[in-house]
Amino acid sequence: MLKGKIFFSLFFIFICYTSNSVLAQEEEPILYYQMEPLDDSLFIHIQQEVFIDPPDPKAEIIVDLRDPNNQTVSIKGTLYPFLAFKPETRAKIQIYPFKINLEENITYTSIFTRVINRLNLGKIFSPPSYYQISPTLGYINPFIQLFGGERFGIPIKNDLGISFGFGTQYSGPLETNFLEARLHILGFYAGGFTHNDAFTSIKKDNNRNNLYALSGFEIGYVIPLGNFFEVSYIDASEKPSKETIALYMKNDTLSNHINIIQGSYFNWELRYPVSFLGSTRGRFYFAKYLDELHIGYTGRELSMAGSTFDFRLDALIHSNYRKPQYVLDVLVQKIAEAWGFSAFAMGPSVILGMTDKDQFGITSIFVNIRIKVGTSL
């Protein structure tokens, strides 16, 4: 199907483009460089040695060894003497393989030779963290996002905690009025959802193909063989009135329809947690949710050429009511200072689908905001 080809083309282009970010160390010594944040444990250890609390695994670390009498390490803009670190740590900093050479000369041929000469595939994919593969702790998530994405998960005590989110895990900006909260215990969760129509009333053009909720409850369970398969049941306890249906369907056309959550649904998600481009949290997934099929990838704190960002690509590939659409988030970190350096990320969130003119294009675009509470897991 054409829309499916568009999704896979978008994701293939992204992978090809970002592979340029994972670079190997050149043969000649590099004395002035930025360390790419692809080794969380080392970055945390470096900061702990100079008493930075809490340490940030995606901190900007710049090493300057050009002057033997004045060698420094800059961590998020603060200078530290190179000799302030233990000999073992200094050695690890010097032999760190993933460096951005800040003295590198760029020529007209660099666009063709740089990737070939310095490409290293060793850190494109790496194993996920313990929390991401735990069926009882996978809900713990320090990232809260304005539109869609994974639920913000707060542990009360180990396997017991709460989570909540704006929109569904698969929705994009201004697409749905859905809000939910859950209680988690030992891999089980139970919760409820409600709605806020302010999210969908902002958009004036292409305000169709939306997902609308009233209120109801949800129960679910993560199969205890790794955090790879989740099942859930949703029941919409509140039935929409004729007036509500008419209000939500006012922008419907013969080819574009909305989906109102009514009745009950059996949902599932098959996922594979993985660290992609040094991400601290990420997964590929294939899911059925509210009788709609989704496939995609979501990742937090990916690293590319010294930049840190969140990335999400979701494809709604089948629905009995709505047309296929594609959600794309790119939220850039390191745009604030002090505590906001790693805690705050912002960027465009876009939905691609059929427009009012029955042409494929942007149907919704808005600024999405992500805040990290605490440290990465």
Mean pLDDT of 278-307: 91
On whether both 176 and 316 belong to a single domain, the answer is yes
- Beta strand 259-260 with 211-212 is parallel
On whether both 330 and 361 belong to a single domain, the answer is yes
Between CA 182 and CA 256, with CA 270 as vertex, the angle to 5 degrees is: 80
Look at residues 120, 139, 161 and tell me which one is the last residue of a structural domain. 120
Residue 2 covered by a domain: no
Our count of domains for the chain comes to 2
Q: pLDDT (tens digit, 9 = 90+) per residue, 254-286? A: 566 889 999 999 999 999 999 888 888 999 999
More confident: 86 or 340: 86
For 103, the domain range is 23-120
**Does residue 18 surpass a pLDDT of 50?**
no
Residue 237 covered by a domain: yes
Extract the runs of DSSP E, i.e. beta strands, from 46-159.
Answer: 61-64, 72-75, 78-81, 99-101, 125-126, 143-145, 152-157
Residue 193 covered by a domain: yes
Residue 5 covered by a domain: no
The region of weakest confidence among 15-24, 148-157, 312-321, 329-338 is: 15-24
User: Considering the entire predicted model, what is its pTM?
Assistant: 0.74
Residue 377 covered by a domain: no
CA distance 340 to 334: 8
Strand order across the 32-35 sheet: 78-81, 72-75, 61-64, 32-35, 99-101
What average pLDDT is seen over the chain? 85
Query: Of 7, 340, 325, 16, nearest to 173 (Cα)?
Result: 325
The region of weakest confidence among 125-134, 181-190, 210-219, 364-373 is: 125-134
The region of weakest confidence among 111-120, 142-151, 191-200, 272-281 is: 111-120
Tokens encoding 202: 């902002």
Q: At 68, which amino acid appears?
A: P
On whether both 246 and 192 belong to a single domain, the answer is yes
Q: pLDDT (tens digit, 9 = 90+) per residue, 217-242? A: 999 999 988 889 999 999 999 988 88
On whether both 47 and 91 belong to a single domain, the answer is yes
On whether both 265 and 245 belong to a single domain, the answer is yes
On whether both 138 and 116 belong to a single domain, the answer is no
On whether both 91 and 217 belong to a single domain, the answer is no
Look at residues 82, 98, 120 and tell me which one is the last residue of a structural domain. 120
Residue 262 covered by a domain: yes
On whether both 113 and 140 belong to a single domain, the answer is no
Look at residues 67, 85, 120 and tell me which one is the last residue of a structural domain. 120
* In contact, 302 and 309? CB cutoff 8 Å: yes
Query: Of 345, 353, 137, nearest to 226 (Cα)?
Result: 137
**What is the predicted pLDDT for the residue at 343?**
85
* Residues in contact with 106: Cβ distance below 8 Å, sequence separation at least 6, in sequence order: none
**What is the predicted pLDDT for the residue at 58?**
84
Q: Mark out the alpha helices in the chain (DSSP H runs).
A: 2-18, 40-49, 87-94, 110-118, 130-133, 198-201, 242-248, 340-343
**What is the predicted pLDDT for the residue at 22?**
40
CA distance 149 to 331: 12
HSE-CB for 238 with a 13 A CA cutoff: 16
On whether both 274 and 145 belong to a single domain, the answer is yes
Q: Give me the percent of the chain exceeding a pLDDT of 90.
A: 53
On whether both 191 and 57 belong to a single domain, the answer is no
Mean pLDDT of 307-330: 94
On whether both 256 and 170 belong to a single domain, the answer is yes
Q: At 86, which amino acid appears?
A: K
Residue 316 covered by a domain: yes
**What is the predicted pLDDT for the residue at 119?**
45
On whether both 79 and 53 belong to a single domain, the answer is yes
Q: Which residues pair with 296 in a beta bridge?
A: 285, 314
